[in-house]
Every structure is written in structure tokens, then in C-alpha cells.
Amino acid sequence: MAKHGLPLGIDVGGSGIKGAPVDLAKGAFAAKRQRIDTPVPSTPEAVADVIDQIVDYFDDVRGDSPIGVTIPGVVTHGVVRSAANIDKSWLDFDAEPMLEKKLGHDIVLVNDADAAGVAELHYGAAKGQKGLVIMTTLGTGIGTALIYDGELVPNSELGHLELDGYDAETRAASSVKDKEGLSYPEWATRLQRYYSHLEALLWPDLFVVGGGVSKDSEKFLPLLTLRTPIVPATLQNKAGIIGAAHLAAHHH
């Protein structure tokens, strides 16, 4: 008999793997999330073992709907095409079938920034927004999610746009701000260059800015001059799990 429980979202990051059941009506965790350190090395098999532990932990609440799993890399048709902050053995690895076999459950594998963007669209800073939303996550690098009229355009890698001869994220990610000891106004000059460029290429209706640094958004967003409204993400580090669960539950 089918089990009507809650969809699970699992967020695989460079330092931790986190998961929780999600109440999709509210866009909130339905139980306290579980976190386990990302294994070293973070090979697909080692990561799958950790995901399995988290899934087992929520065995009594999860239903039969697919489990959403985010990965810090490009994912096309279940195959991981790039590997940021996880072991390079993920490259060109057909991860979905391996995870499904390991977990005994349907899996929907998605890029982590895409999952965060979907969560902000349905439950956060971009709720109800029509047209083109560009979510950017400012962290170790710059992740992006493109959403048009509520539909995700997956695997945009706009953190890698070339700007002034540099890969944009190597100049404007929040890790670069920390590494180079930039003040918020100094960093905002670089962000201005980046967002102006994105704006000129895509003419979005809204920018949503996520990543840990977004909690200090009042120190840098007001310094930017753009045509497009730019707002901080509201779901913080819950967005990946919530977006993964949402994408899995609505997977056809």
C-alpha cells in the first residue's frame, strides 16, 4: 500500500549533508533537520552512505514520493557534469541510478542553486513573481538559478560569465571578499559590475540574492544601482532542502 508521508529534501554541500521532511503547503521543515559531515573523500559511494543514514532517520515520516537531492554541480538527466566542492569522481557520473539502488527509492537529483531558486520562488523572496527571476547565491563561488514564469531553466552557470578577463565568481564571490579583505563598499563595486552585466544580458524582473552573506544584505545591496529590483533571499540555508523536496514532489 502506498504510504502518504512527507517528501524529503537532502542538501549535499562541501562541508555537510543535511536533510529534512518538508511540509510543501507551508514551505517549512516538518521535523528538525539532520546534518552529518560530508565524508572525506566525498566520493559518490561515501556520500550515498550518508544520504542513506539521513533517509533512514526519517523512515517513519517519509512517503513514497521521490526524494530530492541537491548536488553542488551541474546535473543533466541524472548525470553530474561538474563538481564544485565535492570529489572529482562525481564528474560525468550517472548518479541517479546508483542512489536509487542504494536508497531503494526514486531520486530527483538537482543542482543546489536551482533548488534554492525554486524554494524562493514558491515560498520566499520571489513568491508570486512573474517573468524572469534570477537567483544568485554568493558563497565559495556564485551559483545561479533562472526561473521564468514559475518554470526552472536548469543548470545556468552564470557565476562563470567572463568579466574584464576574469571568471566573474573569482572576483565577486563572498569568499573572495573574505580572502582579499574587501570592505562591503569595495566588494559592492565588483557586485555592481557583475549584476549590471547580468541585467544587460537578460533583463530580469527580479534578482534574489542568497548565500550566507545575504543575512548582511543591508550592508551591500543598497550600494548597488540597477534597473532591476534586487532583494535578499528569505529562506537562508533551508532553501536547498525545501526546493529539492518541492522539485521531487512535482517531478513528472
Please state the domain count of the chain.
2
Whose cell is 524562493? That residue is 120
Model confidence band, residue 3 (pLDDT cutoffs 50, 70, 90) = low
129 and 144 share one domain: yes
Mean pLDDT over all residues of the chain?
Answer: 95
Instruction: Please report the pLDDT score of residue 84 as a whole number.
Output: 78
CATH code for the domain of 179: 3.30.420.40
Alpha helices in the chain (DSSP H): 44-57, 95-103, 112-123, 169-172, 174-180, 184-202, 239-249
Residue 120, domain member (yes or no): no
Residue 215, domain member (yes or no): yes
Instruction: Please report the pLDDT score of residue 1 as a whole number.
Output: 38
Which residue type sits at 16? G
In this structure, are residues 72 and 211 in contact, taking their beta carbons and an 8 Å threshold?
Answer: no
**Statement: residue 2 has pLDDT above 50:** no
220 and 242 share one domain: no
Residue 168, domain member (yes or no): yes
Residue 131, domain member (yes or no): yes
210 and 140 share one domain: yes
pLDDT tens figures, 84-123: 789 999 999 999 999 999 999 999 999 999 999 999 999 9
Question: Which domain covers residue 92, as residue numbers?
Answer: 8-112+238-249
Burial class (CB in 10 A: 0-12, 13-18, 19+), 210: buried
129 and 191 share one domain: yes
Q: How far, in Å, CA of 111 to CA of 97, rounded?
A: 17
Residue 51, domain member (yes or no): yes
142 and 198 share one domain: yes
Q: Give the dihedral sign, CA 60/63/64/70.
A: negative
153 and 52 share one domain: no
- Among 145, 122, 157, smallest CA distance to 245 is for 122
191 and 242 share one domain: no
pTM of structure: 0.94
Model confidence band, residue 251 (pLDDT cutoffs 50, 70, 90) = confident
pLDDT tens figures, 119-166: 999 999 999 999 999 999 999 899 999 999 999 999 999 999 999 999
Residue 128: all three cell numbers together: 508570486
List all residues 6 or more positions away from 89 whose beta carbon is below 8 Å from its beta carbon: 41, 43, 44
pLDDT tens figures, 77-87: 999 999 878 99
The string of DSSP codes covering 55-118 is HHHTTTTB-SSPEEEEESS-EETTEE---SSS-GGGTTEEHHHHHHHHHTS-EEEEEHHHHHHH
**DSSP assignment letter at 222:** G
150 and 204 share one domain: yes
130 and 215 share one domain: yes
89 and 144 share one domain: no
Whose cell is 534570477? That residue is 134
194 and 214 share one domain: yes
99 and 168 share one domain: no
Residue 3, domain member (yes or no): no
Instruction: Please report the pLDDT score of residue 129 as a whole number.
Output: 96
